[in-house]
């Protein structure tokens, strides 16, 4: 898939293995476009192509001690590039799925608040719904509770919450997803029971 290696490739690999940056640069410019073309065919994204191509050659450099005796650099680059591209695509799919699940869970709370307005007009459930949400929030683990309150009530972004709580952005996203899912289950369960009870009283 890649162009045939030049006659001096083994010599270049040996120099790279010994930490020669100029030899590494020569290999980089020799294979950069071909690696990029492979990655782009898999991802159809110029941004991902640039990032993955850089990562592939970074791996080549950090693995330089193992380059002595490598028979086929092109095949090695092909394998690393393909695996890295597929891993990135899988990660993107998982993130989109998690985001959809989070939005679905979050919509339950939004639905409760919308229902609250409708019931307010008839004088029902206002206090009950607030109490349910507050009870659900109070039952969250401490860090999830902090993340949820900072996101929902102070309207902070992931990065701002991460800075304030000294957490990573991914940890904040995970805590918020878990908190929202937990609250939605709690509120949905208790509210359905309450509405059933109200229905019996109104019958």
Each residue of 161-180: pLDDT tens digit? 889 898 888 888 888 888 88
For 162-176, give the secondary structure using H, E and C: HHHHCCCHHHHHHHH
Does some domain include residue 111? no
Same domain, yes or no, for 72 and 131?
A: no
Name the average pLDDT for the chain: 76
Give 38's pLDDT tier (boundaries 50, 70, 90).
Answer: very high
Q: How many residues does the chain have?
A: 203
Same domain, yes or no, for 136 and 76?
A: no
CA 144 to chain centre: 18
In this model, does residue 45 exceed pLDDT 70?
yes
Residue 70 has, within 13 A of its CA and on its CB side, a CA count of 24
Same domain, yes or no, for 66 and 139?
A: no
CB atoms within 10 A of CB 144: 20
Does some domain include residue 169? yes
Sign of the torsion formed by the C-alpha atoms of 66, 71, 73 and 78 = negative
Q: Which CATH number goes with the domain that contains 185?
A: 1.10.10.10
- Closest Cα to residue 83, out of 52, 105, 104, 106? 52
CA 125 to chain centre: 37
Does some domain include residue 101? no
Q: Which of 90, 110, 142 is the last residue of a domain?
A: 90
Does some domain include residue 183? yes
Each residue of 52-87: pLDDT tens digit? 999 899 889 988 888 877 888 999 999 999 999 998
CB atoms within 10 A of CB 27: 22
Q: Which CATH number goes with the domain that contains 72?
A: 1.10.1740.10
Does some domain include residue 39? yes
Can you give the pTM of this predicted structure? 0.47
Distance CA 84, CA 181 (A): 31
Q: How many domains does the chain have?
A: 2
- Closest Cα to residue 57, out of 96, 16, 112, 89? 16
In this model, does residue 202 exceed pLDDT 70?
no
Are 80 and 54 in contact by the 8 Å Cβ rule? The answer is no
Same domain, yes or no, for 154 and 197?
A: yes
Does some domain include residue 178? yes
In this model, does residue 124 exceed pLDDT 70?
no
In this model, does residue 4 exceed pLDDT 50?
no
**Integer-rounded Cα radius of gyration of the chain:** 27
Q: Which domain holds residue 181?
A: 124-202
Which DSSP state fits 64?
G
Same domain, yes or no, for 21 and 74?
A: yes
Same domain, yes or no, for 75 and 140?
A: no
Report the percentage of the chain scoring pLDDT > 90.
Answer: 15
Q: Which two tokens stand for residue 199?
A: 């229905």
pLDDT at 90: 83
Does some domain include residue 34? yes
Are 31 and 2 in contact by the 8 Å Cβ rule? The answer is yes
């Amino acid at each position: 898939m890649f162009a045939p290696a030049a006659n001096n490739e083994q010599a270049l690999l040996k120099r790279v293995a010994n930490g020669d940056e100029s030899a590494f640069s020569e290999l980089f410019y020799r294979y950069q476009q071909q690696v990029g073309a492979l990655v782009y065919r898999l991802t159809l994204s110029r941004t991902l192509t640039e990032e993955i191509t850089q990562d592939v050659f970074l791996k080549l450099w950090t693995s330089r001690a193992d380059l002595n005796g490598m028979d086929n650099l092109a095949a090695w680059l092909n394998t690393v590039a393909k695996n890295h591209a597929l891993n990135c695509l899988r990660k993107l799919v998982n993130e989109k799925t998690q985001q959809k699940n989070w939005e679905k869970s979050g919509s339950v709370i939004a639905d409760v608040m919308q229902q609250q307005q409708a019931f307010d007009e008839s004088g029902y459930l206002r206090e009950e719904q607030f109490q349910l949400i507050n009870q659900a929030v109070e039952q969250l683990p401490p860090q999830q509770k902090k993340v949820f309150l900072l996101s929902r009530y102070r309207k902070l972004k992931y990065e701002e919450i991460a800075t304030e709580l000294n957490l990573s952005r991914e940890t904040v996203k995970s805590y918020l997803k878990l908190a929202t899912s937990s609250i939605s289950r709690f509120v949905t369960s208790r509210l359905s029971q309450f509405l059933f009870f109200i229905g019996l009283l109104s019958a």
